[in-house]
Structure 1
């Protein structure tokens, strides 16, 4: 009986201090491990293809694709962080309090920077569709790079301040050994909710609603052949890009909103690995879906993947290849 009880502990040799493992059948545990491991590898591989494509081929290095590159880097890192979540499926954290805090800290940075990138994508599409005459002057490659860098810097700085107590005292809020918990006070949690969710999501919805209305009006005008007379013509490629990125944003919101909704309705802003497993995995799934969306909607991505997989990427001057 004592052996059975000890086998349910994360650290059997520490009877009074160890956390207990959740009861789960062996087949269920194997299935979860296989699914999450496959999702992690697929996420890393697909987003690596996006990163290589945009970084290598000069023709793809446009302002809009620079934003997709930033998003792909976030998704690529999510694929690696998934390895830690896979460990938590067993119900025990075995890597120590320091690694636990770093894991949670990186998760927060990636989440907030991804949302920041989505805001920038919405702004990019808004200018392209609603103010096409000024797009080339307002949206430059250099400005986009600066905005992306600021997005990552602000996310890192804010989350460092937000999680300062946890970073200074790792494991302070753990109730037993084998637990991975961080606690955010009410004011910090409210600020995080407003600055990284409510505010950005509102901006995204408002801008894309305007983009949708203008895109529909342009489409109707082009069908009636009066666009050249009554409207400033928007390129069909820009409208197609807006539609594709709109899909990316909708899928992103669908996968990220549950995480913030759980935080919003919770009595305390406490993130426990076991209680938030579903919403975290849903967020991870989004990182795998983005490259799949590109494959369906962007011919240049399918073409670049073919070049990469066939190793034509190693040929001389391959970066100058026509991908469009």
Structure 2
């Protein structure tokens, strides 16, 4: 009888975690499906930049459809074979890694667009963009499946036969040195550092161009306001990425380097769903701030949710207002 309060408290934490994760999954799927639909509907959005944005949206849809349900199942624990549990855990890494690499691809694309605007269209072609997206996903699979070829906790389980069942938990099958050294330092810290450097250079180039155009034209103030919005969006991207992903990895580092310190289960849950919520935020940061995209989303909402016909002139009149700017204004 004395253990009942503890059990109820754990069940309460689990139910709260499941509820929050479900809400994040729904927001991620709905938001990113709208991103893909908007690109399919509006031909003006079908360029190399939106190729990377759609790749990011697909990865974030997978986070809502696969990663979050798998994370919930693994967090609750169930009996299964070791490699089945390990493969499910690797799926979490593959899909979340593809999201990170898509973010990095967008950062590189934004950098090239402001650094070499005159040569951008000849260097970053549609075909090369597709190849880059393909490489991002291949690399995500290769890095995420590394534990399947031996970097795992099978030896820790002792004489475990291939048919033996274990309680499937992420930390049971995944080695923490892999999560810290390989996954965090190699595939989170490095991409984050590259993105910070790229966006820092983007800020410098934009500011230099703004100063030149402000002196040369009367429209400098208007142009400055547009580019300032872009600069704020890029800063927000880096900030949200760091805020969402660093907590769970920092807790993994604490668990690995200071094993005597026990991370509360509630804190781990907070770190996990913060990393997932980044997928729900990406559509707002990368897509909804683009005017042409916003107009298309309004059209989709009016047609599908309000049962109103789409205005035939709404999309064409919106795109000329942003000639060549629809690619860069975020």
Q: Would you say same fold, with TM above 0.5?
A: yes
SS of aligned partner of 2:141: helix
Mapped to 1, the partners of 2:16 and 2:216 lie a distance apart of 56
The alpha carbon displacement at 1:41 in A equals 1.2
The answer to whether structure 1 residue 197 and structure 2 residue 188 are counterparts is yes
RMSD across aligned positions (CA): 4.0
Match of 2:273 in 1: 281
Bigger shift: residues 205-214 or 99-108: 99-108
Shift of 1:104: 1.8
**1:236-292 CA distances to partner (integer Å, 9 max, x unpaired)?**
87775564344223211221122332333432699x994632221101111111223
Q: Secondary structure at the match of 1:24?
A: helix
8 Å CA contact 1:129, 1:239 repeated in 2: no
Residue of structure 1 equivalent to 2:54: 69
Is the contact made by 2:111 and 2:198 (CA closer than 8 Å) also made in structure 1? Answer: yes
Counterpart of 1:154 in structure 2 is: 139
Separation of aligned partners in 2, 1:214 and 1:71: 25
Residue 224 in 1 paired to residue 176 in 2? no
Give me the TM-score of the superposition, normalised by structure 1.
Answer: 0.75
1:189/1:269 contact within 8 Å kept: no
Shift of 1:149: 0.6
Of the candidates 206, 211, 223, which is equivalent to residue 215 of structure 1?
A: 206
2:246 to 233, 241, 257: 257
CA separation of 1:179 and 1:130: change in aligned 2, threshold 3 A: closer
53, 63, 80: which one aligns with 1:96 = 80
CA distance in 1, matches of 2:218, 2:258: 52
The Cα shift of 1:103 comes to: 3.2
The answer to whether residue 68 in structure 2 is matched with residue 82 in structure 1 is yes
Paired position in structure 2 for 1:51? 36
**Does the CA contact (< 8 Å) of 2:107 and 2:195 recur in 1?**
yes
1:114 to 95, 99, 119: 99
Give the distance between the partners of 2:40 and 2:231, measured in 1 at CA: 22
Q: SS at the partner of 1:96? A: strand
Are residue 244 (structure 1) and residue 233 (structure 2) matched? yes
Q: Secondary structure at the match of 1:132?
A: coil
Match of 1:127 among 99, 112, 130: 112
> Structure 1: any 5+ residue segments left out of the alignment?
9-20, 229-233
Seen in structure 2, the aligned counterparts of structure 1 residues 87 and 24 have a Cα distance that, compared at 3 Å, is: farther
TM-score between the two structures when normalised by the length of structure 2: 0.74
TM-superposed CA distance for 1:150, in Å, is 0.3
Q: Which residues of structure 2 form unaligned runs of 5+?
A: 320-330
Contact conserved, 2:179 with 2:252, CA < 8 A, in 1?
no
Match of 2:130 in 1: 145
1:309 matched residue in structure 2: 301
CA distance in 1, matches of 2:54, 2:258: 32
Q: Which residue of 2 aligns with 1:267?
A: 256
Would you say the 8 A contact 2:53–2:286 is kept in 1? no
1:59-95 Cα offsets, whole Å, 9 max, x none, are 211111111111111111111222233446xx63236
Structure 1 runs of 4+ aligned residues shifted over 6 Å read 173-176, 234-239, 312-316
Q: Hey, what's the Cα distance between the residues in 2 that align with 1:292 and 1:31?
A: 25
Partners of 1:263 and 1:269 within 8 A in 2: no
Find the residue that maps to 1:55 and give its secondary structure. Answer: helix
